[in-house]
Amino acid sequence: MIPTLQAIFVPRIEPEERTYRARLAQGVIWISLGLAALWWIVDLLLAALGEIPQGYLLWVDAAGGGMLVALAVLARRASRQGRLVAAGYLLAAGYFALVTALLIAFPHTVFLYAAGYLLPILIVGGIVSGASVYPFAVGAIAGVSVAWMRASALPLEASAPFEVFSGTTFLIAQAVMLLGASLLLHTFSSHLRDTLSRLRTQTEQLTELAHTDSLTGLANRRQLIEKLGREFARARRYQRPLSLIFLDLDGFKAINDRFGHMFGDEILRGVGMSLRAVLRSTDLLARFGGDEFAVLLPETTLEGSQNVAEKLRKALASYGHQLGPMVPQLTFCAGASQIAASDATLDDMLSRADQAMYLAKDTGKAHTRTQRELTQPAAVD
């Protein structure tokens, strides 16, 4: 029961909404402080000029302004701590209590001050959103009703505005206005959340499409380069090993020519699944295009990348055996590189892996070569 109520009246503020709602909270806080200061200044001027109306309770104004300032300060602290829901409820409660206190002290002004109940509804609807508006709407209707009944009971005020018909019309109009405003804010916030949710889903889908190879479901070149950039920076900063393997399937063109491109596409999908199955969750297997693949290996030395290349070779051979004797044996040539102390950018590391792979292809099928066999700086272990 409690979790359900929390979900209803303490809704989660999405990251996309947080900046807007935080600015709104700050705006209401500063407006509240300004109103309290103006209120006090007017009261001081009236007291200094001796123009305080009969029956006017100066201490009510002073206490109301002080309460507004105190809640605004608490709300500002909560907002700075990221607790926007608490800030919204504090500000709305402050204005609700202020209007209620004025109606208790001056019930005959119900027609004037009743409109003030819109403020807490607008504040909580804008900052907290969701169903948080309804308790304030119900409370406001009750407050207006009690104030009107008290005012109508006053002997000197039993005039036309407080007759039963006029009062009933007024109370119904207030209820419609307060509940209507609450429903409007709730509906708007629900539509806003739905829209943000759909936009988030579409963004995730577009991001996935932009970073995924459509044929194999593996990462594509863009995702590999982006992750390599992050891992390259981390490895340089913390002096950690980082390796990269380029793979090129041997004789894949012959398979395409013999069995057709549709069969070749199935082979590429199977190759991707078999290679990915033997890698760690922190490793990234990507298809560069055609029959070329790349493997990013964080926290892996050059020797470790050679061991990974052998595991990948065995996984590919196992998959190839499942295809039957009609399909040529599947092998690959691989080139491995590791981040070096002299690397200025990740392109240096990419270049060495590419050169090592071409060196392996020049050697023959099913070979692995590393940057140590190139005229390049030695890796930092």
pLDDT of residue 40: 80
Average pLDDT over the chain, rounded to an integer: 87
- In this predicted structure, the answer to whether residue 241 has a pLDDT above a threshold of 70 is yes
Q: Is 185 left (phi over 0), alpha (psi -120 to 50) or beta?
A: alpha
Give the residue among 221, 368, 361, 365 at the shortest CA–CA distance from 290: 221
Residue-range domain boundaries for the chain: 2-205, 221-373
pLDDT of residue 378: 45
pLDDT of residue 61: 67
45-94 pLDDT, tens per residue?
A: 767 776 665 555 566 667 777 888 888 899 999 988 988 999 999 999 98
**Rounded to whole angstroms, how far apart are CA atoms 149 and 152?**
5
Mean pLDDT confidence for 172-187: 92
- In this predicted structure, the answer to whether residue 379 has a pLDDT above a threshold of 70 is no
CATH top-level class for 221-373? alpha beta
pLDDT of residue 219: 94
This model's pTM is above 0.85: no
- In this predicted structure, the answer to whether residue 343 has a pLDDT above a threshold of 60 is yes
35-49 pLDDT, tens per residue?
A: 888 878 877 776 777
Greatest extent of the chain over all pairs of C-alpha atoms, in Å: 109
298-309 pLDDT, tens per residue?
A: 999 999 999 999
- In this predicted structure, the answer to whether residue 107 has a pLDDT above a threshold of 70 is yes
Q: Pairing relation of β-strands 368-370 and 332-338?
A: parallel
Task: Pick 156 or 134 by higher pLDDT.
Answer: 134
- Residue whose pair of structure tokens reads 């309770």 in the numeric block: 57
- In this predicted structure, the answer to whether residue 376 has a pLDDT above a threshold of 60 is no
pLDDT bucket at 104, cuts 50 / 70 / 90: confident
Beta bridge partner(s), residue 247: 293, 334
120-155 pLDDT, tens per residue?
A: 999 999 999 888 999 999 999 999 999 988 888 776
- Residue whose pair of structure tokens reads 């001796």 in the numeric block: 50
pLDDT of residue 62: 73
Task: Pick 347 or 190 by higher pLDDT.
Answer: 347
